[in-house]
Amino acid sequence: MAKQKNVFFCKECGYEASKWMGQCPACKAWDTFVEEPALKIKGKIRGTALLAEPQLLAEVSGAENSRITTGFQEMDRVLGGGIVIGSLVLVGGDPGIGKSTLLLQICMKLTDKKHRVLYISGEESLQQIKMRADRLGVFKGDLLLLSETNLDNIEEIIRKNKPEIVIVDSIQTMYKEDIGAAPGSVSQVRETTSVLMHLAKGLGITIFIVGHVTKEGVVAGPRVLEHMVDTVLYFEGEDKASYRILRAVKNRFGSTNEIGVFEMQDKGLREVLNPSEFMLQGKPEDEPGSVVVASMEGTRPILVEVQALVCQTNFNMPRRTAAGTDYNRVNLLMAVLEKRIGIQMSGMDAYVNVAGGMKINEPALDLAVVLALLSSYRNLALDEYTICFGEIGLTGEIRGVSMAEYRVIEAEKMGFRTCILPKTNADNIKKTGMKLIGVKNIRELSRLFT
């Protein structure tokens, strides 16, 4: 018998090589090559049978009715206004975070609107899916269920039943018989995703595929998987918290970095239409080191609490901790405080936390971190109806940020009366019932605590 020929694939980018290499020459990642059987393509490549003719842009028909609403406002926001017909959407997240629950709830709302939906599971039996569906509520419409992992059979069933929307849970369990590698391998994931992509584009079917994530927090399999799909959604959340955040990191049909907030309950996920109110629950009153910041997630303003604790260190080297924001950015801001105002932070322990488990890395958080540090250092509480935002540079200047008016409007809706913001932003906001305090640098900022 002829010896099976094996090749090596990079798990990050899908680069193929005839021998193992320590570093991938394409994406420069280390120790990512895995050995798998070489792919043998039989027959013609899919999509090359007919020669396509180019078409003028003006002659292409419009797509006014090319979106389907999911029934979840938060989901529609993240998708850019609804499900795009013929799109391929990847939903990733940690095990048990609620990916299957969210998609099954979407199936419930879509079938209630008489949409034809096919739910394919490679991990659960039909009886297990039925048990989960009964817990979520009553399905008024007809939902097609299929427990299958062979992609050839799945393709035949999709072409026969012609559903509008297909859910594939999960892509790591699917396999093609003509590929010798095991399900979940680089070869299988890449080839099965390619088949699903051609089905979605060729038949005008929207396909959601569920992808498991690795310990590094990325979808398992080659990164080429994220390049092939139209939209990449990540479902995130803390183990001890009830809320979940659906984040778009790639979207060909809408804005990226949009988020949708959900709360996990006994009967599934409930969308949180006012995340600012949700994040500020339990905020302490008249306590030093507590500041509220208006941050932006995509086009949505969200108010979150930033806490800081500064105390004398008992060690030779002071301890610094940052939860929910960049650790190095906190060290940088403390160095600016020490240099520009003269506060001796070198002998202080500092702990900074974004309450509620949110992770924020935008520059507008700088002003809130500095205010929280000053408030804790001087043991003076900021007024509970005061909010802030702004970026701080190395010279201590406070620079303007984008969408300042949206942040102020959201703060005013939540009952805040005073806003500390960059001077450049304060001069450009004309109509507001809030008191705006524009500051140019952190020296002006420090006078608020004198």
Put the strands of the sheet holding 33-37 in their side by side order: 16-17, 6-10, 33-37
User: Strand pairing partners for 122?
Assistant: none
Q: Are 409 and 387 in contact (CB under 8 A)?
A: no
The count of C-alpha atoms lying within 13 angstroms of the C-alpha of 25, restricted to the half-sphere facing its C-beta, is 7
d(CA 20, CA 435): 64
Annotation-wise, does 207 bind a ligand? no
Q: Could you tell me which of 335, 336, 340, 370 has the C-alpha nearest to residue 352?
A: 370
Annotation-wise, does 288 bind a ligand? no
Q: Are 367 and 398 in contact (CB under 8 A)?
A: yes
Burial class (CB in 10 A: 0-12, 13-18, 19+), 264: middle
Q: Which residues, including other chains, have CB under 8 Å from residue 234's CB and lie 6 or more apart? A: 92, 93, 213, 246, 247, 249
User: Strand pairing partners for 302?
Assistant: 295
Q: What Cα–Cα distance (Å) separates residue 308 from each residue in 330, 371, 445?
A: 11, 9, 17
Q: How far is CA 123 from the centre of its chain?
A: 24
Burial class (CB in 10 A: 0-12, 13-18, 19+), 138: exposed
Q: Could you tell me which of 41, 84, 92, 310 has the C-alpha nearest to residue 211?
A: 92
Annotation-wise, does 99 bind a ligand? yes
Phi, psi of 155 (to 5 degrees): -60, -40
Given the DSSP bridges, would you call strands 348-354 and 268-271 parallel, antiparallel or unpaired?
unpaired
Annotation-wise, does 100 bind a ligand? yes
Put the strands of the sheet holding 143-147 in their side by side order: 143-147, 117-121, 165-169, 206-212, 88-93, 231-236, 243-251, 259-265, 268-271
Annotation-wise, does 420 bind a ligand? no
Q: Are 221 and 209 in contact (CB under 8 A)?
A: no
CA-based torsion, 403, 67, 113, 258: positive or negative:
negative
Annotation-wise, does 81 bind a ligand? no
Q: Are 434 and 408 in contact (CB under 8 A)?
A: yes
Annotation-wise, does 18 bind a ligand? no
Helices (H), 204-274: 224-228
Q: Which residues, including other chains, have CB under 8 Å from residue 264's CB and lie 6 or more apart? A: 98, 237, 242, 243, 244
Annotation-wise, does 183 bind a ligand? no
d(CA 236, CA 356): 13
In the annotated binding site for ATP, the residues are: 93-100
In the annotated binding site, the residues are: 93-100
